[in-house]
Amino acid sequence: MMQVLNGTVLLLDVSLPLKDPVPIFSLVLFIILLAPIILRKFRIPSIIGLIIAGMAIGDHGFKIIEKGSLSLLSNAGLLYIMFLAGLELDMAEFRKNRHRSLVFGAFTFFIPLLLGFVVCHYWLHFNFMATLLVSSMFATHTLVAYPLASRLGITKNEAVTVAVGGTIITDTAVLLILAIITGAAAGNLNTYFWVRLGVSLAVFATIILWIFPMVGRWFFKKIKDDKTSHFIFVLALVFLAGFLAELAGVEAIIGAFLAGLALNQLIPHTSTLMNRIAFVGNALFIPFFLIGVGMIVDLRVLLKGPEALLIAGSLTIMALFSKWLAAFFTQLSFKYSPTQRNVIFGLSGSHAAATIAVILIGYNMGIINENVLNGTVLLILVTCLVSSFVTENAGRRLAIIEAERKPEKDDTPERILVPVSNPIRMEALLDLAVMIKDPDADTPVYPLAVVQDDEEAKEKIHITNKMMETAVIHAAATESQVQAITRIDLNVADGIARAARELLITDVILGWTDKTSTTDRLFGSIFGTTLDNVLQSVWETVYVCDFSHPMNTAKKMVLVLPRNTEYEKGFLHYLQKMMILAKQIGARLTIYCQDKTRAAVEAFIQYIKISAEISFKPLGEMEDFLILSREVTRDDLLVVVSARKGTLSYNAYLEHIPAKLSRHFKDNNLILVYPEQIEMDFMEPGVQPEDLTLAPIQEQLANLNKLGKAVKRIFKGKQ
């Protein structure tokens, strides 16, 4: 076929196998599109469809695509799977259950290794070096079925967390054994080898886990608004980590996983960036990897005589049985349900990338023969199919079980109102709304623009509508529902209050637009009005925010609670929101409060079984508040809970908090929280704070039908 380019006639080669990248890419994209759709009708997981499609078009199938033409994107897809596994890992839950991941990692490494050694040495009669190599191959596994768990929404479950943590442990151990085997085969197993390996791994881990987060935090602060640069930056770090891992003497997948862990706290799970990372991976990189796995499968190995069939059958049975046994012992150790055991087995049962890497290196070095190589290829096919089926079925049951444990929906769902006027600050306020929103709530976020009713109202509406379109586009990038509202009113405060009443709003997020004001009663100008006017007419929870840099760069979140705040009607509501926020941005939470308040907070934490880094520090009176300036760094998010005048936790000193924040924390991200109140819900005359007890908060905790729902779902412990 002829093709004309700049006046030059080029011959386009369309003969099989395809060599030109354009038809190859086109064909693969149609496979990615159609294979899952077709096989879904037969209740076959999409992963299997892509693997089977790879078998059909590969060198061992109909030879439609030239061998090696997809190797670049296939390898990238493998690194992407490992990166997503590290990025989506719940770090607080992982730290909480790290000993369980270590136990599972030990089971899934030693059981296959020991059983494999017995089978290879006494049943298949391999020599020692081949026995050690093949036995270590049994211990590896690839998270081929992880996208299924992610799609089913069970990645936060402890079973998945333990399986992912165990993966990196066993694969690292196996790849270290591989380095030792190759060093022994080359005759380089000496003191220099051990010193070089230890030093290189230490330097590699330091760069990834210490320097990467530091560079990432700096980059996100300096480049705030360029979303494309954020994505490219993250992608570059992933593949740089893979390259550094290879320089250190281990496989690139270890570097990709550690890069995910390093960037975990910098990329909130509800952010636009996270949505784009997951979308690109699930749409392109991961399907290319699965098709690439299928292309290396050769079913003709079954026709190469009884020895090939014996080896292939023995390897496959041992691989599946040993991984099931590891999942079974993990279940017994931690009293998991059979469904959780099957999820662990499904995720850890597939052998692909690390397995083929180990075997190919052994084959190229002459340690194993062609029969073992072909048997391993069949093992990859069978284990990937079994793993996908098991994960799909068990994961679906686990998702149903978790859904049934959720409490019934409340009659008054949460509704978040975000009044906006400044396009520059608008995105940060919307991001906060998306982060603290109940993920199961089907109500949208409501951006609100209030236009003052005057002669220029019509002209201002046109400008406002363009700004609201930008708000909708930004929120849509996070796949969040948004319903933009524009109102004309006498003043902004009345417009906000009217919208809050009509829409049954539960939370109002405002921008703090004049941080330099030193007027005691003015906390900045909110669209031409004062905060006092809004607080006197809006009795729901109000958050007044000023963000100097992206929230995801925060290392620590400092929450300051005034005396008696536990008696406020909105105490548990804003507390759960702040815990969700700390979870989303991956920050440690430090709470400054008095003893009674701490007891109430700890009771709530016990109720929701939170798995987060939370510490408490004493706070005497609010007059001691400025002592915090010595302990709060520029990278910390400072949240101060204030109170409306006359309420239970009101203190005259709180009236001056805004101005003091302006002077002493001008470089910090700040949130000032005003708890929900019933209108005129003031302290009765004659009641003193000393007369109050914890009865009100205990009663709230005993009747948490409304408050704490979202947090309990997000911060669940063992399921």
Do you find a cis peptide bond into 306, omega within 30 degrees of 0? no
Query: Each residue of 309-333: pLDDT tens digit?
Result: 788 888 889 889 999 999 999 999 9
Q: What pLDDT does residue 14 have? A: 65
684 falls in which pLDDT band (50, 70, 90)? very low
Nearest-angstrom CA–CA distance, 538 and 499: 10
CB-side neighbour CA atoms (13 Å) of 45: 27
Query: Each residue of 620-634: pLDDT tens digit?
Result: 776 666 677 778 888
Nearest-angstrom CA–CA distance, 403 and 301: 44
Q: What pLDDT does residue 530 have? A: 59
Q: What pLDDT does residue 559 have? A: 92
Nearest-angstrom CA–CA distance, 668 and 675: 22
pLDDT over 80 at 698, yes or no: no
Of residues 321 and 172, which shows the higher confidence score? 321
pLDDT over 60 at 550, yes or no: yes
Element (H, E) at 52: helix 46-57
614 falls in which pLDDT band (50, 70, 90)? confident
CB-side neighbour CA atoms (13 Å) of 34: 7
pLDDT over 50 at 692, yes or no: no
Using DSSP bridges, classify how beta strands 588-593 and 529-530 pair: parallel, antiparallel or unpaired.
unpaired
Q: What pLDDT does residue 383 have? A: 87
Contact 630, 665 (CB under 8 A): no
Record the tokens describing residue 642, joined without a space. Answer: 């204030």
Of the candidates 41, 135, 146, 46, the one whose C-alpha atom is nearest the C-alpha of residue 89 is 146
Q: What pLDDT does residue 174 have? A: 80
pLDDT over 80 at 431, yes or no: yes
Query: Each residue of 440-457: pLDDT tens digit?
Result: 677 888 888 887 776 666
- The pLDDT of 8-18, averaged and rounded, is 64
Of residues 518 and 702, which shows the higher confidence score? 702
689 falls in which pLDDT band (50, 70, 90)? very low
Q: What pLDDT does residue 520 have? A: 33
Contact 483, 416 (CB under 8 A): no
CB count in 10 Å sphere of residue 142: 29
Q: pTM score > 0.85 for this model?
A: no
Q: What pLDDT does residue 194 have? A: 82
Of residues 516 and 314, which shows the higher confidence score? 314
Of residues 530 and 141, which shows the higher confidence score? 141
How is 499-557 classified by DSSP, letter by letter?
Answer: HHHHTT-SEEEEE---TT---TT---EETTEEHHHHHTT--SEEEEEE-SS-GGG-SEE
Nearest-angstrom CA–CA distance, 244 and 348: 26
Element (H, E) at 426: helix 423-436
Which of 209-213, 401-405, 547-551, 639-643 is the least confident region?
Answer: 401-405
Which of 42-46, 265-269, 374-378, 512-516 is the least confident region?
Answer: 512-516
Q: What pLDDT does residue 353 have? A: 63
List, in sequence order, every residue forming a beta bridge with 65; answer none if it has no partner.
18
Record the tokens describing residue 533, joined without a space. Answer: 């006017």
Q: What pLDDT does residue 400 have? A: 84
Nearest-angstrom CA–CA distance, 410 and 98: 35
- The pLDDT of 149-154, averaged and rounded, is 80
For the chain, the maximum distance between any two Cα atoms, rounded to a whole number of angstroms, is 95
516 falls in which pLDDT band (50, 70, 90)? very low
Query: Each residue of 50-89: pLDDT tens digit?
Result: 878 888 888 878 888 887 788 888 888 888 877 887 787 6
CB count in 10 Å sphere of residue 369: 15
Mean pLDDT (the chain, rounded): 78
CB count in 10 Å sphere of residue 222: 8
Q: What pLDDT does residue 704 have? A: 47
- The pLDDT of 528-547, averaged and rounded, is 79
Q: Which residue reads 């003091």 in tokens?
A: 660
- The pLDDT of 635-661, averaged and rounded, is 78
pLDDT over 50 at 518, yes or no: no
